[in-house]
Amino acid sequence: MENFAFYSPTQFVFGKDTESEAGKLVKRFGGSKVLLHFGGGSVVKSGLLDRVKKSLDAEGISYVELGGVMPNPRSGLVYEGIDLCKKEGVDFVLAVGGGSTIDSAKAIAAGVVYDGDFWDFYRGKRIEEALPVGTILTIAAAGSEGSPDSVITYEDGMYKRGASGDAIRPKFSILNPALTQTLPPYQTAAGITDIMAHLYERYLTNSKDVEVTDRMIEALLLTMVHEGPRVIENPNNYEARANIMWAGTMAHNNCCGVGRSQDWLSHTIEHELSALYDCAHGAGLAVTMPAVFKYELSHDVMRFAKVAVRVWGCQMDFDHPERTALEGINAFKNFLSSIGMPVTFGELGAKEEDIPKLVDVLCNGDGRTGSISGFITLNEEECAKIYKMMM
Amino acid sequence: MENFAFYSPTQFVFGKDTESEAGKLVKRFGGSKVLLHFGGGSVVKSGLLDRVKKSLDAEGISYVELGGVMPNPRSGLVYEGIDLCKKEGVDFVLAVGGGSTIDSAKAIAAGVVYDGDFWDFYRGKRIEEALPVGTILTIAAAGSEGSPDSVITYEDGMYKRGASGDAIRPKFSILNPALTQTLPPYQTAAGITDIMAHLYERYLTNSKDVEVTDRMIEALLLTMVHEGPRVIENPNNYEARANIMWAGTMAHNNCCGVGRSQDWLSHTIEHELSALYDCAHGAGLAVTMPAVFKYELSHDVMRFAKVAVRVWGCQMDFDHPERTALEGINAFKNFLSSIGMPVTFGELGAKEEDIPKLVDVLCNGDGRTGSISGFITLNEEECAKIYKMMM
């Protein structure tokens, strides 16, 4: 196991009706003037935003609003949010929504207290300072509610890039599984896929002898395999929603990823798909992962066999472990298809003729020099091959 | 799943040579005058204490020392520590040792800033304020390095009781698995047993449909089953030590115990054994758990069958699940015996004629009224039966 530091100071408040505690929590973490940041109309229509405002009012906390966050959140709204916060003297950013809203809120929080262009952070500068951020989560997916990460799409060129820093870890996150019950099945499934991707990307490691984190990742994958179909069958299953929600947070606060190298090639390769076609991130991952994993299989057959046996219940073929390994990848692909996810390029609206453009941005965009690295290293030709495997 | 709050803000610094960061971490968390608290001579003899002092010196942090913490730490030394801190103007308590040293440090930290008798906290008063505490862990066992809990034995009557509060959660914990390599096999095994007890006590729940935490607990138990024998076979196996150490922290920071009722009857029943006979807490648990579990089995056969199948690899007997359940308990007992733990009353130095006294203190001591509760409720007669089952 490699040396590591682990720090996850977010206060999680989990369960039914917990959004009513938002005001008290903002106050506890020093907020007096809040930016209420959200996406489309659903948090307005559902009455959630009103309940949050009521909770802020009860504590005498004032607020300004900025809605309109899109999936794959854009730089334009971040600039707008930074200006608004500066003008209004905002001292706390409260995200009400999913990963996109939270990521946008984190970008604003970092940008407000930074003299330069906030995009510097997405070019690799570490975030050292930010306004405090809180979240009220409405979809179990990105894990942004407990992570120090944010992913934003830069509109001039449609680059999708990530930034990181403990300063943007949420001070608190309110997780009410009931809020996720109104999600359409496709969004629910995309969230499940994103959570499983966070687990697989940590599982695919070149570190040896990391049994504790292997087992923890497997535990969370097994939870998704058990609860995913239950929630697709009955969207109002609170218990299944609750298990998925906590698994989503544990999958990405890194308690199961410490001390080991991680992969993240699937995320990197997918980012170009959702940036270009504006597909749901989870849907893009469902198409990307099986292809990437098949390409990676020969690099470490036993690792893929291990997850096949332990998570997918495959019988170990001791004479031909690569068959077990492949069976596990196919079982995962079938699972994704069974919960309603696309598994081919065409289903995403992606086109073969775009592959050279995708590969060029992927391997050469924004400071990269002809390759990307994770579990293995991939050059342009190999990336093109993987995109073709998705067809 | 029940509503819950989860907050684990401890900064963990994990890996080889990490004790050299102690000075920087104390400074980061605001310490300028430290109480260095430790147990017997081993941290002195090994040179660990000197390395820590050097690290404090390098940051210009002064310190006073208080050694002598015993296993099952006593109230007398806590009072002494509180007086010393007040006299010397200490503003940070740094524990160098295992769970006993950390628990003693937490008690001192709470007592220094409290007007009354620190024992009030161990009678049920919540700890709201304390000096900051840091830890340098030398045995994977109690999980105190990431918990808000402390257990102290009151010398007048030998009551062993716990106190709790976020204020005594360590600000940082330094976890260097190499520091545990010099532990005698018996202490190592007692630590493994304690960790597994923390997992079982969370597993034995009356909550339904808590798959995510069930799976996480099973993952950590499986890690112990895998790594325990490796470390007993070769005490210098750093990787096995590292897996056990992180599992021990994750077992008790409660990320795998949230939103569910927990048991803690084994701990409660054992506490009287280690208070009276001064045996290692883990050894007491090794004797206690199989008896308690057999007594609890009929309360929820399927739960015991589940852990038997998923952790101990038992075949499910669908016609007689109680056989599978019992097989799992016996497999656990055999495992404990195989790593060198006692599994009978006599091996602890316990005597049948003491049972009435044990039961009386257990069920009526310090505010209890004739019974104890967890997974099930036990009266005096039942507790006596369980102590007898250990013989």
Helices assigned H by DSSP within A96-210: 99-112, 185-203
CB contact under 8 A, B239 and A209: yes
Residue A321: CB atoms within 10 A of its CB come to 17
Give dist(CA B89, CA B35) in Å, integer.
Answer: 10
| Region for B309 from its dihedrals, namely left if φ exceeds 0, alpha if ψ lies in -120 to 50, beta otherwise | alpha
**Do residues B138 and B43 touch, judged by C-beta distance below 8 A?**
yes
* 8-state DSSP, A176: -
Give dist(CA A326, CA A321) in Å, integer.
Answer: 9
CA angle A54, A57, A63 (to 5 degrees): 100
CB contact under 8 A, B246 and A227: no
Question: Which among B4, B209, B226 is the nearest to A239, CB-wise?
Answer: B209
Closest Cα to residue A130, out of A105, A153, A147? Answer: A105
Chain B residue with the nearest C-alpha to that of A3 = B15
Burial A164-191 (b: 16+ CB within 10 A, else e): bbebbbbbbbbbbbebbeebeebbbbbb
CB contact under 8 A, A243 and B210: yes
CB contact under 8 A, A219 and B218: yes
Q: What is the ipTM of this complex?
A: 0.96
CB contact under 8 A, A211 and B223: yes
Which chain B residues touch A5 with a CB distance below 8 Å?
A: 11-14
Closest Cα to residue B284, out of B38, B68, B72, B70? Answer: B72
Closest Cα to residue B101, out of B154, B57, B131, B145? Answer: B145
Cα–chain-centroid distance for residue A244? Answer: 14
Q: What is the pLDDT of residues B133-149, one digit of tens each?
A: 999 999 999 999 999 99
Is the domain defined by B183-389 classed in CATH 1.20.1600.10?
A: no
Whether residue A210 lies within 8 A of chain B, CB to CB, comes out as yes
Whether residue A226 lies within 8 A of chain B, CB to CB, comes out as yes
Give dist(CA A175, CA B32) in Å, integer.
Answer: 38
CA distance A307 to chain B (A): 13
Dihedral pair phi/psi, residue B74, rounded to 5°:
-100, 155
CB contact under 8 A, B213 and A246: yes
**Do residues A266 and A197 touch, judged by C-beta distance below 8 A?**
yes
Whether residue A391 lies within 8 A of chain B, CB to CB, comes out as no
Whether residue A147 lies within 8 A of chain B, CB to CB, comes out as no
* 8-state DSSP, B34: E
CA distance B118 to chain A (A): 27
Chain A residue with the nearest C-alpha to that of B248 = A212
- Return the sign of the alpha-carbon dihedral for residues A181, A185, A191, A195: positive
* Residue B337 burial by Cβ neighbours in a 10 Å radius (0-12, 13-18, 19+): middle
Which ranges in chain A are annotated with CATH 1.20.1090.10?
Answer: 183-389
* 8-state DSSP, B19: G
Residue B54: CB atoms within 10 A of its CB come to 14
Give dist(CA B227, CA B198) in Å, integer.
Answer: 17
Chain A residue with the nearest C-alpha to that of B9 = A9
- Return the sign of the alpha-carbon dihedral for residues A317, A319, A324, A325: positive
Residues 6+ apart with CB under 8 A from B312: B225, B327, B328, B331, B332
Helices assigned H by DSSP within chain A: 22-28, 42-45, 48-58, 75-88, 99-112, 185-203, 211-233, 238-252, 265-277, 281-296, 301-310, 321-338, 355-364, 380-389
Closest Cα to residue B228, out of B332, B328, B378? Answer: B332
CB contact under 8 A, B12 and A6: yes
Which ranges in chain A are annotated with CATH 3.40.50.1970?
Answer: 11-179
Chain A residue with the nearest C-alpha to that of B208 = A239
Res B275: pLDDT: 84
| Region for A364 from its dihedrals, namely left if φ exceeds 0, alpha if ψ lies in -120 to 50, beta otherwise | alpha
Whether residue A316 lies within 8 A of chain B, CB to CB, comes out as no
CB contact under 8 A, A212 and B16: no
Q: Residues of A numbered 31-60 whose beta carbons fall under 8 angstroms of chain B's beta carbons: which are they?
A: none
Mutate to test the interface with B, among A1, A25, A223, A256 (most CBs of B within 10 A): A1
**Tokens matching residue A327:** 């069976």
**Do residues B172 and B25 touch, judged by C-beta distance below 8 A?**
yes
Burial B356-389 (b: 16+ CB within 10 A, else e): eebbebbbebeeeeeebebbbebebebbbebbee
Q: What is the mean pLDDT of each run of 10 residues along chain A (391 residues)?
A: 97 98 98 96 94 98 97 95 98 97 98 97 95 98 96 86 95 98 96 98 98 98 98 97 98 97 97 89 97 98 98 98 98 98 92 95 88 97 97 91
Res A210: pLDDT: 98
Terminal CA-CA length for chain A: 38
CB contact under 8 A, B5 and A16: no
Question: Which among A4, A9, A244 is the nearest to B15, CB-wise?
Answer: A4
Res B194: pLDDT: 97
- Return the sign of the alpha-carbon dihedral for residues B185, B186, B192, B196: positive
Question: Which among B211, B240, B247 is the nearest to A226, CB-wise?
Answer: B211
Res A275: pLDDT: 84
| DSSP state string for A280-332 | -HHHHHHHHHHHHHHHHGGG-HHHHHHHHHHTT-PPP-SS-HHHHHHHHHHHH
Whether residue A229 lies within 8 A of chain B, CB to CB, comes out as no
CA distance A163 to chain B (A): 21
Q: Which H, E and C letters describe B213-247, residue by residue?
A: HHHHHHHHHHHHHHHHHHHHHCCCCHHHHHHHHHH
**Do residues A176 and B1 touch, judged by C-beta distance below 8 A?**
no
Residues of chain B where predicted confidence (pLDDT) is lower than 50: none
CB contact under 8 A, B14 and A250: no
Which chain A residues touch B3 with a CB distance below 8 Å?
A: 14-16, 18
3-class secondary structure, A19: helix
Give dist(CA A360, CA A69) in Å, integer.
Answer: 28
Give the distance between the most distant pair of CA atoms in chain A: 68
CB contact under 8 A, B212 and A218: no
Chain A with chain B: Cβ pairs closer than 8 A: 125
Chain B residue with the nearest C-alpha to that of A242 = B1
**Tokens matching residue B167:** 């204020």
Give dist(CA B127, CA B121) in Å, integer.
Answer: 6
Closest Cα to residue A268, out of A375, A190, A110? Answer: A375
Bridging pattern class, strands B377-379 and B133-137: unpaired
CB contact under 8 A, B14 and A5: yes
Give dist(CA A92, CA B132) in Å, integer.
Answer: 27
**Do residues B239 and A227 touch, judged by C-beta distance below 8 A?**
no
Give dist(CA A74, CA A344) in Å, integer.
Answer: 26
- B11-179, CATH topology level: Rossmann fold (3.40.50)
Chain A residue with the nearest C-alpha to that of B249 = A255
Closest Cα to residue A342, out of A248, A270, A246, A245? Answer: A270
CB contact under 8 A, A226 and B213: no
Res A157: pLDDT: 79
Whether residue A234 lies within 8 A of chain B, CB to CB, comes out as no
Residue B338: CB atoms within 10 A of its CB come to 12
Res B161: pLDDT: 86
Res A41: pLDDT: 82
Which chain B residues touch A146 with a CB distance below 8 Å?
A: none
